[in-house]
Chains A and B, each alone.
Chain A
Amino acid sequence: MELLLYTALFAPLVGSLFAALFGASPKTLLTGVVTSLLLGVSLVASTILLVFVISSGQFVHVEMMTWITAGDLYIPFGFIVDQISVTMMMVVTLVSTVVHVYAIGYMDHDKGFNRFFSWLSAFVFSMMVLVMSDNFAGLFIGWEGVGLCSWGLIGFWYKKESATWAANEAFIMNRIADLGMLIGIFLIYWNTGTLQYHEAFAAMPALETATLVWIGIFLFVGAMGKSAQFPLHTWLADAMEGPTPVSALIHAATMVTAGVYLVVRSHELYALIPNVGLFIASLGTFVAIFAATMALVNRDIKRVIAYSTLSQLGYMFAAAGLGAYWVALFHLMAHAFFKALLFLGAGNVMHAMSDELDPFKMGALGKTMKGTMILMTLASVALAGIFPLAGFFSKDLILEVAFIDGHYIIYTVLLLTAGLTAFYSFRIIALIFHGEDRHTSLGFHPHEAYKFMLIAVTPLAILAVIAGALQGSYYEYVTLLLPSTEYHIHSSLVYWTMTIGTQLFVIASIIFAYKKYMSKSVKVPDGTSAMEKSFFYKLLINQYYIPYFYEEYLVKPYRELSTVFWKQVDQKIVDATVDSIANVIYHTGENTRNMQSGNLSTMLKWMVAGLVALLSLAVVFGLATRHSDEIMLILSGLGV
């Protein structure tokens, strides 16, 4: 079992290092194949571990080696496979393997082919460290590792200015949040004396509530950065600068869910402070509807899908905040499948349309890209939450949780968001695949993606469909660790009204979207229509002017401050001090050089001066030696 754990953990690392050997060479297909195979190995290992955990209900806990022992602090490199982490492992390895195979086709003509796979496998390794670690320090290592690999992958086309800027923005925002997380970790260590999960959580009920609230808040700040909750959300939309497989893996299925994982892992903590949980849930709900509104009008298909991710993350946090941790984890799992599927399909579309992103310039692509159309439609249906696909079982469950606990505001907002989700998802589908052909006149000649790419993506599609059916067995095994609150609405009338009402609402939104965007009067908007001039449109398409606000009021003053510190403090004070020390020595040398003038008269003068100096020294020392006793007396009187 330990061997399986190490295999699952280190296979991606081996793949990454192997691909890194070829980093500077032109594309070699071998790197893609080897890394995908190694990820497949990791997937197999994770599956076996899953079966083991389900069947025996036991953990697999190893301590690989000690990392830090300093005084009372003891931090090992330890890994644990329990129900939570094995779920995450499955999700991560499955989506990663699919994405790797897909990327062999997607990055076909890219010069940085080998480098891409190295970064991608390194990312998977960091994510595995994150989810498999058994203490907060290991979690943090993985946390930073995924941040780094995400930076490398978003800025993969580093010659593009916008890509490097987006990568920096993502990394810096994550770092800001990591400060909060570090403070949380410090507080945990300070108060409980250990960073191991089970020991820390065992010690927590004995702490004061105020301390626990602070720990909870700070840890959640870290989760806010990673999972792009408001106000640290702007990086997620800009992260679409990276290649589409990156968006599929990182910004749909794995990195952004790390925040949710953290909250779920710390469920024992958050169970003790329900007020913080309520705050988390409210923030999550706010983000859900906030992101959904921004996706309504956006003209970039990847950005729409990114906002959709943001919205669904809000759902997950809402569930976690309300105490339904297993529901949050389940939605995380289902969401990973259909969102990755959606991204990969969008990647196909982009590839076909030579990286064009505006759906208004597409249209009637369903005729040439049947496979992609089917996949994306499936994913969108799952996302909308239509029975019997996966989304229904996870999203609607969250709605039920909100309703049962009596948080009607949260329930209403989430319901509304579900409608909006359906609308914007199918807006995109309609604009791309149906309606009039707008792309041929603009000079695009689309073609379907490689067959193997479509085949690689099929497992995701299958899972998106059937994941709902796994809910029962999932519940069985995960609640061995997580609190097992069953959410039953007692009155079946209310239950059925709710369920059917939700479905009808969602289906109505879908039909509305189809009608609006499949009609023949859809044109490429050029800024003149009444809709584009309206206030709400402008507000939404500029993302509520939040990026503008950050740029004007945060980035610019900070840059000014940095320039002041650089020019005034660093150059004028620090450098000047160091330089002046050197200058003193240099000028002393220059001036004393004149002593050797070659002029005998001057040198004779110097000789006499030197003579006087030495003679006075001789006299002084002679006198001191003669009267040394009295001198010692005086010195001892002074206390030397």
Chain B
Amino acid sequence: MMEIGLNHYLILSTILFSIGLIGVMRRKNLLMLFFATEILLNSVNISFAAISHYYGDLTGQMFAFFVIAIAASEVAVGLGLLIVWHKRHNEIDLDLMSTMKG
């Protein structure tokens, strides 16, 4: 237990990933949905960094790096769209946004 191995980090990453998925499936407010997406991305970053550390390879860290960059740009665009929608309809409830019905 004392010795922190790769497995500990992987388990942690799993827990965080599932929390993120629960958030994605549960949340009705679109902004909250974005928060949950951030959690997902972070959990994956942890796992990349952990593997990179335990195997002495820098690839994991590079990947995590790029994930962060992409997450940032995604947040910018996503929030922009959210704001436009809010200006139009004055609410961001997912259940009311179902114009693309099958």
A and B touch in the complex (CB under 8 A): yes
Instruction: Evaluate contact between B94 and A601: CB separation under 8 angstroms.
Output: yes
* B27–A601 touching, CB < 8 Å: yes
Chain A residues in 8 Å Cβ range of B97:
598-600
B100: Cβ under 8 A from any A Cβ? yes
Asked if A601 and B25 make an inter-chain contact with CB atoms under 8 angstroms apart, the answer reads: yes
Q: How far is the CA of A598 from the CA of B99 in the complex (A)?
A: 6
Minimum C-beta distance from A598 to chain B (A): 3
Asked if A625 is at the interface (CB within 8 A of a chain B CB), the reply is: no
Q: Which of A593, A596, A598, A601 has the most CB of B within 10 A?
A: A601
Closest to B28 in A: A601
Q: CB of A636 within 8 A of chain B? A: no
Answer whether A599 and B102 are a contact pair too, CB < 8 Å, given A605-B25, A608-B25: no
A593 and B102 CA atoms in complex are apart in Å by: 6
Given that A601-B27, A608-B21, A608-B24 are contacting pairs, would A595 and B95 also be in contact in the complex, using a CB cutoff of 8 Å?
Answer: no
Q: Judge whether A604 is part of the interface by a CB distance below 8 angstroms.
A: yes
A605 → B minimal CB distance (Å): 5
A588 to chain B, nearest CB (A): 15
Residue A497 is within 8 A (CB to CB) of chain B in the complex: no
B102 touches A600 (CB 8 A): no
Q: Which residue of chain B has the shortest Cβ distance to A611 in the bound complex? A: B21
CB distance from A257 to the nearest CB of B (A): 75
Please give me the residue from chain A that is nearest to B98 by CB atom.
Answer: A598
**Residue on A with the closest CB to B27?**
A601
Q: How many whole Å from B97's CB to the nearest CB in chain A?
A: 7
Q: Is the CB of B25 within 8 A of A599?
A: no
Mark A206-234 against chain B: 1 for CB-CB distance below 8 A, else 0: 00000000000000000000000000000
Are A599 and B24 in touch, CB under 8 angstroms? no
Q: Which residues of B lie under 8 Å from residue A599 when comparing CB positions? A: 94-95, 97-98
Interface size range of chain A in the complex:
10 to 19
**Alpha-carbon distance between A599 and B27 when the two chains are bound, in angstroms:** 12
Q: Contact at B98–A595, with CB atoms within 8 Å?
A: no
B101 at the A/B interface (Cβ < 8 Å)? yes
Residues of B within 8 A of A595 (CB): 102
B101 lies within 8 A of A597 (CB): yes
Tell whether, in the assembled complex, residue B99 and residue A604 are in contact, meaning their CB atoms are under 8 Å apart: no
A599 to B21, CA, bound (A): 17
Q: Mark B10-35, 1 if CB is under 8 A from A, else 0.
A: 00000000000100111110100100
Bound complex: CA A599 to CA B95 (Å): 6
User: With a CB–CB cut-off of 8 A, which chain B residues contact A598?
Assistant: 97-102
Distance between Cα atoms of A531 and B97 in the complex (Å): 96
Inter-chain contact A597/B25, CB cutoff 8 Å = no
Partner of A596, one of B30, B95, B102: B102
Min C-beta distance of B11 to chain A, whole Å: 18
**Cα–Cα, bound, A593→B25 (Å):** 20
Chain B residue contacts of A600, Cβ below 8 A: 30, 33, 94, 97-98
Known: A601-B25, A608-B24. A596 touches B94 (CB 8 A): no
Instruction: Check if A597 sits within 8 Å of B24, measured CB to CB.
Output: no
Residues of A within 8 A of B100 (CB): 596, 598
CA distance A594 to B94 in the complex (A): 16
Alpha-carbon separation in the docked complex, A608 to B97 (Å): 20
| A594 to chain B: closest residue by CB | B102
Bound state CA distance, A604 and B30, in angstroms?
12
In the A-B complex, the 9 residue pairs with the closest CB atoms: A596-B102, A598-B98, A598-B101, A598-B100, A599-B98, A601-B94, A600-B94, A605-B25, A604-B24
13 A-B residue pairs with Cβ-Cβ distance under 8 Å, sorted by A, are: A593-B102, A597-B98, A597-B101, A598-B98, A598-B102, A600-B94, A600-B97, A601-B27, A601-B28, A601-B33, A601-B94, A604-B24, A605-B25
Given contacts A597-B101, A608-B21, 8 further A-B contacts (CB under 8 A): A598-B97, A598-B99, A598-B101, A599-B97, A600-B98, A601-B25, A601-B33, A604-B25
